[in-house]
Structure 1
Amino acid sequence: MARKPTLDFLKTEAASGLALALAAFAALVVANSPWSGDYFAWLKSSQSLQIGPIRLEETISDWIKEGLMAVFFLVVGLEIKYEIVRGELSDPKKLATPVLAALGGMAGPAVVYLLLTGWIGAPHRGWPIPLATDIAFALAVFGVVGRGLPSSLRVFLLTLAIVDDLGAIALIGLLFSQGVTWTPLLWALGALVLGGLVARRVRVPAPFWVLGFALVWHLTVLSGLSTSLTAVAFALIVPIEPRAEGGRSPLKAAMHDLHPWNAFMILPLFAFAKAGVSFAGLSLDQVFTPLVIAVALGLFVGKPMGVFGLAWLASALKIGERPTGAGWLQLYGVALLCGVGFTMSLFIGVLAFPGAVDSPEQIEVKLGVIGGSVLSALAAALVLGLAGRRRA
């Protein structure tokens, strides 16, 4: 029996959690070592890319954020398309609860953060930071503590995280793509439409998909729009039907080929670039600034409150139901796990507070994201471990 792409995705993302954790830990070590200056200087250094008449120059940090992370969002887009057409999202009954839970998981942190802006003076523009769930870290924790729990909880978590990512991508496009230059953006949209029409009628070889993605990416950079949005849009034109009878579709082939790169190079490199926080001269006043507290509590309190609250409401109103074989305690453990917002939260933090990687705002964002994610992971591990023992 052929393996399902979703199961391969789960396995790959869960395994990459360790790589992410090691990369984040390495960043913290280097940022607080004698090589700290070299680390931050490397992130700020400029690198140019010349291909014929095309020349782009960005810092290492921006190449990772806008370049490599575009591939991450491409894979997220491929997974979203697969789930909508063939997977969990294709069944409205299975779709309702995780979709509503994902919406609650975006509203809850925003409410908590915005309440704290009035109470303790956290900067308003940081409210989108705690909205996102990190798929890789969440599944890695679930893989460790979720033995004996229903497999439906994994699918619920993945479906919720995909919808969550889609919401985060939409927010990135709406909030952090100011100053758009419309001419290259219209060319990019035209290339997407033309590519979609051609792909429906002609078998497009893999190298042309790579060139097409590079073209759309370049036009997006010139337009000033976040590359995450057009990366997902590009994924939607990749055919899901096999090229030949018995063969793999371009979508499945791309998912299979890109997942290892995403899991073991792109995401760990992003974590290494963004998780480095220097504790030199760090005081308790900096650790407990309004921004740190608002981000951390948004993840640790707001995220599970929104996820669990909307999942319960969907069940109470009979418009959704719990994952098969799962109890409310187990579902609450998964809701806590959604507060692990490492990769996407750091990414949004960079967009919300642009500037040097060692600027005060960036340090506070990192402290809040790391603190909230660690608290969420520990609480989820405790609850899911208890739920597993009770089930046994």
Structure 2
Amino acid sequence: MEHRSRTTHPLENPPIERIVRPFQDFIHKEASGGIVLILAAVAALIWVNSPWEDSYHQLWETHLKIGAGSFLLDMSLEHWINDALIVVFFFVVGLEIKRSILVGELSTPRRAALPAIAAIGGMIVPALVYLSFNSLGSEGGRGWGIPMATDIAFALGVLALLGRRIPLSLKVFLSAFAIADDMGAVAVIAVFFTDEISWVNFGIAFGLLGVLLVANRLDVRNPLPYIAVGVLVWYYFLLSGVHTTVAGVLLASVVPIRVRLDADSFYNRARYLLDEFKRHDEDSNDMLPATIEQRAAVQALETECQHVESPLQRMEHAFLPWVAFLIMPIFGLANAGVSLDSGLGSASTSSVTVGVFVGLVVGKSIGVTLLAWLAVRTGVAVMPQGVNWRQMFGVALLGGIGFTVALFITSLAFADDALIADAKIGILAGSIVAGAGGWIVLRMTSSHN
């Protein structure tokens, strides 16, 4: 039987794809999320220091009601952002933590030792530096957790600007160190910034987490049950008094990470389905959709692709762009606004501003470098391949970019507007100096690579 030869034509990008491609390329660059967050923070500063300052505060103080009956929540936009939207960010952080511990940079003691120990130094030393300027009993004492945090998006964004000058092992170390640092920040929020606990609501929330754990064990892979029950977990955490960011991390811990197909099985199944697709190729026309058999093969292949990827990976991939390009910029716009006219004068002599600034720039760099050096010196850990100590110090400086989580801890630590403004100025100044300093050190030490 003579088969028809089928003419193939090179695929041409449709006009709409040529329009959106630059935006897609921008989204997939490592530095893009940090750039958008910077723009949001700059916009907040310009807005607050303009003649329209009142409109900035009025916007975030606007109340929004969601729900009905006994489930009605009435909060300001600022609270919706800091108690609800930020939970999605911490959910993604939780997914990254779980993946890193089970299959990633923190999956073995040898891999986890150096970034974990460095993160401990990067939390303890900045907190001690801050407390050297603000005693625990003082009005600014509650801000000791502010300089402990590292903004992973900003730090990796700055590192990405250096391109191939930076060894891959250094990027892996920074990612692992920042993830370990996030774990510490969540623990600090849970333990030290929870005032009163409603044990009934707390128990209901954990009961719902137990339901999701059972779903995990039953290999329920559809994300919808986890999202639907997760909203209820968030609601009862909100009522319990334990900050809802903890709910985000705990929800991530019950998302399945197992796959149904291993790599070899997927390869064999995919080859079979592609062969089936090719076998029916002679029955289709170039200008018409695929045949019934080909569509069946494509649908089966889509199912196999889902089985070779874990629900955790799919959810992390789905949520990450929304977090990077919508949630975090909104958070930055709502929280980075501080009046420089009235704030700079008091901030220059404020122990809170100085404590945060020195903690981020000096405490973070010394803490990370010192603990990492001790770990390597004593044989507990090994240096990443191709990394020298000057580069390690540069990465430690980047750890002082504490923008997002630092601003968030500020909102938990202080109720006084003046203290919040002082802390924000310290965060902004410290993050800028730490980021620029880290970039300069890494640029100088890596230019020969």
Give 3-state SS (helix, strand or coil) of 1:178's partner: coil
Check conservation: 2:94, 2:253, Cα contact below 8 A.
yes
Give 3-state SS (helix, strand or coil) of 1:47's partner: strand
Query: CA offsets, 1:312-338, max 9 Å, x none?
Result: 011100110111111111111000100
Between the aligned partners of 2:240 and 2:419, the Cα distance in structure 1 is 27
How far the C-alpha of 1:12 sits from its partner, in A, is 6.1
Between the aligned partners of 1:162 and 1:45, the Cα distance in structure 2 is 34
| Amino acid aligned to 1:272 | L
Q: Given the alignment of the two structures, is residue 79 of structure 1 paired with residue 140 of structure 2, yes or no?
A: no
Alignment-derived partner of residue 42 in structure 1:
59
User: Cα–Cα, structure 1 residues 263 and 85, in superposed 2: closer, same or farther, change >3 Å?
Assistant: same
Check conservation: 1:12, 1:259, Cα contact below 8 A.
no
Question: What aligned pairs does 1:254-333 form with structure 2 within 5 A after superposition?
Answer: 254-282=315-343, 284-333=345-394
Instruction: Out of 46-55 and 192-201, give the one that drifted further.
Output: 46-55
Give 3-state SS (helix, strand or coil) of 1:57's partner: strand
Q: Given the alignment of the two structures, is residue 156 of structure 1 paired with residue 173 of structure 2, yes or no?
A: yes
* Structure 1: tracts of 5 or more residues without a match: 1-9
How far the C-alpha of 1:116 sits from its partner, in A, is 1.7
How far the C-alpha of 1:93 sits from its partner, in A, is 1.0
Give 3-state SS (helix, strand or coil) of 2:72's partner: strand
Check conservation: 2:85, 2:327, Cα contact below 8 A.
yes
Q: Given the alignment of the two structures, is residue 368 of structure 1 paired with residue 426 of structure 2, yes or no?
A: yes
Q: Normalised by the size of structure 2, how large is the TM-score?
A: 0.81
How far the C-alpha of 1:253 sits from its partner, in A, is 0.8
Question: What aligned pairs does 1:215-230 form with structure 2 within 5 A after superposition?
Answer: 215-230=232-247
Q: Given the alignment of the two structures, is residue 196 of structure 1 paired with residue 213 of structure 2, yes or no?
A: yes
Between the aligned partners of 1:285 and 1:241, the Cα distance in structure 2 is 53
Question: What aligned pairs does 1:123-142 form with structure 2 within 5 A after superposition?
Answer: 123-142=140-159
Q: Normalised by the size of structure 1, how large is the TM-score?
A: 0.93
Alignment-derived partner of residue 380 in structure 1:
438
Between the aligned partners of 1:176 and 1:275, the Cα distance in structure 2 is 21
Alignment-derived partner of residue 334 in structure 1:
395
Instruction: Out of 342-351 and 197-206, give the one that drifted further.
Output: 197-206
Largest Rg, 1 or 2: 2
Check conservation: 1:149, 1:388, Cα contact below 8 A.
yes
Between the aligned partners of 1:34 and 1:122, the Cα distance in structure 2 is 31
Q: Given the alignment of the two structures, is residue 186 of structure 1 paired with residue 186 of structure 2, yes or no?
A: no
Alignment-derived partner of residue 413 in structure 2:
352
Alignment-derived partner of residue 114 in structure 2:
97
Alignment-derived partner of residue 296 in structure 2:
none
Check conservation: 1:147, 1:388, Cα contact below 8 A.
no
Instruction: Out of 49-58 and 223-232, give the one that drifted further.
Output: 49-58
Between the aligned partners of 1:209 and 1:13, the Cα distance in structure 2 is 28
Check conservation: 2:346, 2:422, Cα contact below 8 A.
no
Query: In structure 1, which of residues 7, 13, 23 is the aligned counterpart of residue 40 of structure 2?
Result: 23
Q: Given the alignment of the two structures, is residue 252 of structure 1 paired with residue 313 of structure 2, yes or no?
A: yes
Over the residues paired in the alignment, what is the CA RMSD in angstroms?
Answer: 1.8
How far the C-alpha of 1:354 sits from its partner, in A, is 2.7
Check conservation: 2:130, 2:144, Cα contact below 8 A.
yes
Query: CA offsets, 1:349-392, max 9 Å, x none?
Result: 0000035xxx1111111101011111101111110010111x33
How far the C-alpha of 1:14 sits from its partner, in A, is 3.0
Check conservation: 2:122, 2:368, Cα contact below 8 A.
yes
Between the aligned partners of 1:256 and 1:283, the Cα distance in structure 2 is 40
Between the aligned partners of 2:230 and 2:126, the Cα distance in structure 1 is 34
How far the C-alpha of 1:91 sits from its partner, in A, is 2.0
| Amino acid aligned to 1:125 | R
| Amino acid aligned to 2:341 | A
Between the aligned partners of 1:354 and 1:204, the Cα distance in structure 2 is 42
Between the aligned partners of 1:202 and 1:36, the Cα distance in structure 2 is 51
Alignment-derived partner of residue 129 in structure 2:
112
Between the aligned partners of 1:158 and 1:11, the Cα distance in structure 2 is 17
| Amino acid aligned to 2:409 | I
| Amino acid aligned to 2:175 | L
User: Cα–Cα, structure 1 residues 372 and 283, in superposed 2: closer, same or farther, change >3 Å?
Assistant: closer
User: Cα–Cα, structure 1 residues 343 and 241, in superposed 2: closer, same or farther, change >3 Å?
Assistant: same
Provide the identity percentage: 40
Check conservation: 1:203, 1:243, Cα contact below 8 A.
no
Query: CA offsets, 1:4-48, max 9 Å, x none?
Result: xxxxxx966532010010000000011111221010111122111
User: Cα–Cα, structure 1 residues 283 and 232, in superposed 2: closer, same or farther, change >3 Å?
Assistant: closer
Between the aligned partners of 2:439 and 2:360, the Cα distance in structure 1 is 15
How far the C-alpha of 1:173 sits from its partner, in A, is 0.4
Query: How many pairs were matched up?
Result: 378
| Amino acid aligned to 2:171 | R
Check conservation: 2:198, 2:241, Cα contact below 8 A.
yes
Give 3-state SS (helix, strand or coil) of 2:381's partner: coil
| Amino acid aligned to 1:382 | I
Between the aligned partners of 2:349 and 2:44, the Cα distance in structure 1 is 22
Check conservation: 1:146, 1:385, Cα contact below 8 A.
no
Between the aligned partners of 1:239 and 1:118, the Cα distance in structure 2 is 44
Between the aligned partners of 1:306 and 1:176, the Cα distance in structure 2 is 23
